[in-house]
Chain A
Amino acid sequence: MAEMTMQEMKKTSKRPMGRRKRLEIIWLVTLQIIMTIIVISFLIPTLWMISSSLKHTTEVFVHPIVWIPVHPQWKNYIKIFDVLPFAKFAWNTLIVTGLAVLGTLVSSAMVGYSFARLRWPGRQFFFALMVSTMMLPEIVTLVPRFIEFRSFGWIDTFYPLTAPYWFAVSTLYVFLIHQFFRGLPMELEEAALIDGANRIQILTRILLPLAKPVIATIIVFSLIQHYNAFLEPLIYLNGMEHWTLALGIRAINDSNVKNWELVFAAGTLMFIPVFLLFAFAQRYFVQGIALTGFGGR
């Protein structure tokens, strides 16, 4: 029976084979066109932001929409620095992001190493605790942390945005580095221990150099996370001299209802560094999302 049908199928499919191939090509061409349309529609809001950032005010409020400004107004990018101290915001963002990323990296590597390769009582308990915090909705600590940090005298300082990250609060990254370290053979450090190396040397000279792809992923994601952070700066940074770029965008948005081009210029300005990072480190983005399921936020 089965053979019969197989033979029948072969017979009948012999001639339509060419047609099937043609159908497949038509399908692929159609799909190609559909995907191109969809991807363009995904890109349009971003492209619109960039193009509008170079428009003259008169080009912003017209119909039909001007897609490419006739005389690119580069001075919009100078104007925003007069409206608000964006240089100061950029500097603050750099400091906050740098310190938070560095802290994340150092603490995640230490803790990941301990969980993956050292045997100590309570390890399993603490590891389970860490994994359980990975899916913890952040909202529950928002209010009490504010009161806690206020009692530390941390309002209007960068500590709330940096200090916690030196204590491995981004547990996802610890998990990531733990998974990688676990996959490395134990002989690596046994040999080093016999040679008289201590744990810090083993971590920094043997294990971390091997973990470069994971480290790169962690750097890329935590960079994006802290650079884009909005809620924490909003709550902890009152004085404008402490603001980050994210707060600057909000302020210029609230104060320039009639000057869209300035708002777009500020948005584009903030977007450029992350875009460059994305362009040069795309591999680590893709790899990191596949590894963690998170990334950027």
Chain B
Amino acid sequence: MTVQTSSRFKLPPKSILKEWIEGYLFASPFILGFLVFTAYPMGYSIWLAFHKWDLLSPPRFVGFENIVKMFQDPVANLALYNSAYYTIIAVPIQLVISFALALALTQKLKFRDFYRAGFYLPIIVPLVASAVVWQRVFHYEYGILNEFLSWFGIPAQKWLFDPALAKPAFILMSFWMIGRQMVIFIAGLGNIPESMYEAASLDGAGPVAKLFKITVPMMTPLIFYNMVIAIINSFQTFIPALIMTDGGPERSTLFAVLNIYRQGFNYFNMGYAAALSWQLFIIIVGFTITQFVISRRWVYYEE
């Protein structure tokens, strides 16, 4: 049996064709999964954003109503502000702490493995469990944080019940979970060739000069990487807010994802929730792209 082919579209030899088919077959879980679980939902949520739907009555086309509402809704704007505040303050400090810890753990210390495990452990604790524990760490009367502060004569604070301190409390908790960033930094520090430091020593460079002239520049790709991931994750903080404060007090910990969750799954404003999701999505992707653009100025890539 010969396959009819025009001169333009010559079928490749049988063995290559077989590999094509096998290639698609083996990649088919991803291709199908992408279509069904990513591409379709994303497209569908654009459609949703222009409709009003409570899942009970049929969806109703409302044009730009959701989008206009999104920009005017003070609660939605507050939620974005809270997430941005949390992200912009927490992430840089997280990076400094995790970098400092990583630097310390590459010194000639004893028990380095134990330290590393200790710093990593908090991110193994299921986040729900962490949230219920930290809810009590911050407890006014019986929490360990106020107990600790009292040793230094600092009066007890209301933390999660004080609108001015609730966000800082969340930020403090986020510092506890920097093990992942630290381990990445440790791996990177191990890859800086020792010869660079030796050369710098010969030139008379002290420890501080070495840190800022060699270590930090060589680590910029990983600092950048950790920063991008941390920002994406921080903007999507949800579980601690739902468990520890449920957005309170006075909506001071109502973060963007918690607001979307409420709109979608408590109030069943599916269209509005979809519009808010797209807004947050665009903000996060915008942040990420901006960082990639700016990174050309400060991230050092070896040729």
- Stretch from B1-9, B30-38, B160-168, B192-200 contacting the other chain: B30-38
Residues of chain B from 138 to 157 with CB closer than 8 A to chain A in the complex = 141-142, 144, 147
**Chain B, residue nearest A38 (CB):** B101
B265 part of interface (Cβ distance < 8 Å): yes
- Stretch from B20-28, B68-76, B87-95, B210-218 contacting the other chain: B20-28
**Chain A, residue nearest B12 (CB):** A121
B58 part of interface (Cβ distance < 8 Å): no
- Stretch from A70-78, A209-217, A259-267 contacting the other chain: A259-267
Does the CB pair A142–B260 fall under 8 Å?
yes
Does the CB pair B120–A285 fall under 8 Å?
yes
Does the CB pair B120–A140 fall under 8 Å?
no
Does the CB pair A169–B20 fall under 8 Å?
no
**In the complex, how many angstroms separate the beta carbon of A156 from the nearest chain B beta carbon?**
14
B236 part of interface (Cβ distance < 8 Å): yes
> Which of the residues A119, A140, A286 comes within 8 Å of B42, measured between beta carbons?
A140
CA of A199 to CA of B21 in the docked complex: distance in angstroms? Answer: 11
Does the CB pair B118–A139 fall under 8 Å?
no
**In the complex, how many angstroms separate the beta carbon of A164 from the nearest chain B beta carbon?**
5
Does the CB pair A118–B285 fall under 8 Å?
no
Instruction: Give chain A's interface secondary structure class.
Output: helix
Interface size in chain A (residues, C-beta < 8 A) = 95
Residues of chain A from 126 to 154 with CB closer than 8 A to chain B in the complex = 126, 129-130, 133, 135-148, 150
CA of A28 to CA of B207 in the docked complex: distance in angstroms? Answer: 14
A183 part of interface (Cβ distance < 8 Å): no
Query: With A39-B114, A123-B27, A137-B281 known to touch, is A144 a contact of B37 (CB < 8 Å)?
Result: no
Residues of chain A from 1 to 57 with CB closer than 8 A to chain B in the complex = 5, 9, 28, 31-32, 34-36, 38-39, 42-46, 48-49
CA of A64 to CA of B66 in the docked complex: distance in angstroms? Answer: 53
CA of A267 to CA of B134 in the docked complex: distance in angstroms? Answer: 12
Does the CB pair A139–B281 fall under 8 Å?
yes
Does the CB pair A148–B23 fall under 8 Å?
no
Instruction: Name the B residues within 8 Å of A285 (CB-CB).
Output: 120, 124, 183
**In the complex, how many angstroms separate the beta carbon of B150 from the nearest chain A beta carbon?**
9
**Chain A, residue nearest B187 (CB):** A290
Instruction: Name the A residues within 8 Å of B126 (CB-CB).
Output: 227-228, 230, 245-246, 249, 267, 270-271, 274
> Which of the residues B129, B147, B238 comes within 8 Å of A249, measured between beta carbons?
B129
B273 part of interface (Cβ distance < 8 Å): yes
Instruction: Name the B residues within 8 Å of A44 (CB-CB).
Output: 144
* Residue of A65, A113, A228 contacting most chain B CB atoms (<10 Å): A228
> Which of the residues A46, A119, A129, A297 comes within 8 Å of B23, measured between beta carbons?
A119
**In the complex, how many angstroms separate the beta carbon of A119 from the nearest chain B beta carbon?**
6
Does the CB pair A169–B107 fall under 8 Å?
no
A111 part of interface (Cβ distance < 8 Å): yes
Does the CB pair B119–A110 fall under 8 Å?
no
Instruction: Name the A residues within 8 Å of B108 (CB-CB).
Output: 28
Does the CB pair A114–B44 fall under 8 Å?
no
CA of A136 to CA of B121 in the docked complex: distance in angstroms? Answer: 27
A250 part of interface (Cβ distance < 8 Å): yes
A162 part of interface (Cβ distance < 8 Å): no
Does the CB pair A148–B26 fall under 8 Å?
no
B29 part of interface (Cβ distance < 8 Å): yes
**In the complex, how many angstroms separate the beta carbon of A93 from the nearest chain B beta carbon?**
10
**In the complex, how many angstroms separate the beta carbon of A1 from the nearest chain B beta carbon?**
13
Instruction: Name the B residues within 8 Å of A63 (CB-CB).
Output: 142, 147
Instruction: Name the A residues within 8 Å of B299 (CB-CB).
Output: none
Does the CB pair B48–A143 fall under 8 Å?
yes
A235 part of interface (Cβ distance < 8 Å): yes
* Residue of B23, B101, B257 contacting most chain A CB atoms (<10 Å): B23
**In the complex, how many angstroms separate the beta carbon of B83 from the nearest chain A beta carbon?**
11
**Chain B, residue nearest A49 (CB):** B133
Instruction: Name the B residues within 8 Å of A196 (CB-CB).
Output: none
Instruction: Name the A residues within 8 Å of B123 (CB-CB).
Output: 295-297
In the A-B complex, list the 9 residue pairs whose CB atoms are closest, starting with the nearest.
A167-B33, A120-B23, A114-B26, A267-B129, A144-B41, A290-B187, A118-B23, A144-B45, A114-B27
- Residue pairs across A and B with Cβ atoms less than 8 A apart, 27 shown, are A28-B107, A45-B176, A46-B125, A110-B27, A114-B26, A114-B27, A118-B23, A137-B280, A137-B281, A143-B48, A143-B260, A143-B270, A143-B273, A148-B40, A148-B41, A166-B33, A167-B37, A174-B30, A249-B132, A264-B133, A267-B132, A274-B124, A289-B180, A290-B184, A296-B123, A296-B180, A297-B123
Residues of B within 8 A of A (CB): 16, 19-27, 29-34, 36-38, 40-42, 44-45, 48, 55, 101, 104-105, 107-111, 114-130, 132-137, 141-142, 144, 147, 176, 180, 183-184, 187, 204, 225-226, 228-229, 232, 235-236, 238-239, 243, 256-257, 260-261, 264-265, 270, 273-274, 277-278, 280-281, 284-285, 288
In addition to A114-B27, A271-B126, 12 A-B residue pairs with Cβ atoms within 8 Å of each other are A39-B114, A39-B118, A45-B176, A129-B34, A133-B34, A144-B41, A145-B37, A147-B44, A166-B29, A263-B132, A264-B133, A267-B128
